[in-house]
Copies of this chain bind each other. A is one copy, B any other.
């Protein structure tokens, strides 16, 4: 039943007739929401600092930009692909934009060039996957290594200090609108926009068809290669966007940024219901996945849990969460 999730929210005749709480219960994401609320509940007893505005802000800042990456990854997973290069392409986006800025180019232009370059990288991967016929896994693994190498090459292995970025540029990473950080606003805009598009637009519906059964999609007149090419490219483009936001936020570009990030991002999408075989997944779920992972890390830090125990607890909570989610979904189905 998992895989109907994405379309069900909007689609079913019965769902539209049912009252709101029933629809909520049927959603794929409900299990995750319950688990996250449970953790919130526990944490608010465990630490007096947990429910403070400052802590909430710190916690959301920790996952906001990763949230943009997970959007791209989820869409790519739905189309049947995967991308191991997200960490290094994000780093490369920072490095290229930073390097261009330090060479005297306007930071906005530099950012544009850098995002375009990431799009190019995505197109490059898309080419190898759709034209040559290689597997996403191996292509993106190679690109992960190449992009990391390019980061080293452009920086000589040293972080680029971008303290001189103009304040209006830094604003996108550090500013706030009222009490809300801009980063969170950008995150919400991306998430809501893509969640809506994925559920509602014909364009993105084709992504589901392609991932569910590529041959049947081709036999339905969908240019599946084009779809896969585009989802691959989109994922890298969003890496570019995330890289620029990180750069504005940190005022620096670090060549070693995002080591191992790909696994976190894929894990978040999978926890949120995306299938590694394609054809199912949802943005909302994936974002909940990111929030869950980030919440656990933040909570362990807040409680000053010994570092020697943190990983064990973190892994166990992850396993427990997916198990509980699995049972909650099974019960409902």
Residues of B within 8 A of A39 (CB): none
Q: Is the CB of B149 within 8 A of A318?
A: no
Q: Is the CB of A135 within 8 A of B276?
A: yes
Q: A128 to chain B: closest CB distance in Å?
A: 7
Query: Is the CB–CB distance between B149 and A309 below 8 Å?
Result: yes
Q: Interface 1/0s, chain A 258-271, versus B by CB < 8 A?
A: 01100100110011
- Inter-chain CA distance A12–B128, complex, in Å, is 32
CB distance from A121 to the nearest CB of B (A): 12
Are B309 and A145 within 8 A (Cβ)? no
B-contact bits for A155-171, CB 8 A (1 contact / 0 none) = 01100000000000000
Residues from chain B with Cβ under 8 Å of A260 in the complex: 259-260
CA distance in complex: A323, B84 (Å) = 18
- Which among B142, B271, B311, B316 is the interface contact of A148 at CB below 8 angstroms? B311
Residue of A137, A308, A326 most packed against chain B (CB within 10 A): A308
B326 touching A149, Cβ below 8 Å: no
C-alpha spacing A169/B332, complex, angstroms: 55
Q: Assess A267 versus B146: contact at CB under 8 Å? Given A128-B319, A308-B156.
A: no
Rounded to whole Å, the gap between the CB of A25 and the closest CB of chain B is: 21
Most buried by B among A156, A277, A310, A322: A322
Query: What is the CB-to-nearest-CB distance from A238 to chain B, in angstroms, rounded to a whole number?
Result: 21
A139 beta carbon closer than 8 Å to chain B: yes
> Which listed residue (B128, B266, B267, B308) contacts A153, Cβ 8 A?
B308
A86 is an interface residue with CB less than 8 A from chain B? no
A137, B137: Cα distance in complex, Å:
14
> Which of A128, A260, A311, A322 has the most C-beta atoms of chain B within 10 angstroms of its own C-beta?
A311
Cβ of A314 < 8 Å from any Cβ of B?
yes
Question: Measured between C-beta atoms, what is the minimum distance from A281 to chain B in Å?
Answer: 13
Interface contact A141-B318, CB-CB below 8 Å: yes
Contact digits for A205-247, partner B, Cβ 8 Å, 1 yes 0 no: 0000000000000000000000000000000000000000000
Can you name the residue of chain B whose Cβ is closest to the Cβ of A270? B138
A150-B311 Cα distance, complex, nearest whole Å: 8
A118 at the A/B interface (Cβ < 8 Å)? no
In angstroms, Cα B271 to Cα A142, docked, is 11
Residues facing B in A120-149 (CB within 8 A) are 128, 132-135, 137-139, 141-149
List A residues 295-333 near B (Cβ within 8 Å).
Answer: 307-316, 318-319, 322-323, 326, 330
Chain B proximity of A144: nearest CB distance (Å): 7
The answer to whether the Cβ of A186 comes within 8 Å of any Cβ in the partner chain is no
Q: Tell whether, in the assembled complex, residue B323 and residue A144 are in contact, meaning their CB atoms are under 8 Å apart.
A: no
Check A152 for interface membership: any CB of B closer than 8 A: yes
Given contacts A138-B271, A143-B319, 9 further A-B contacts (CB under 8 A): A132-B323, A133-B330, A142-B316, A144-B315, A145-B311, A149-B313, A149-B315, A152-B308, A260-B260
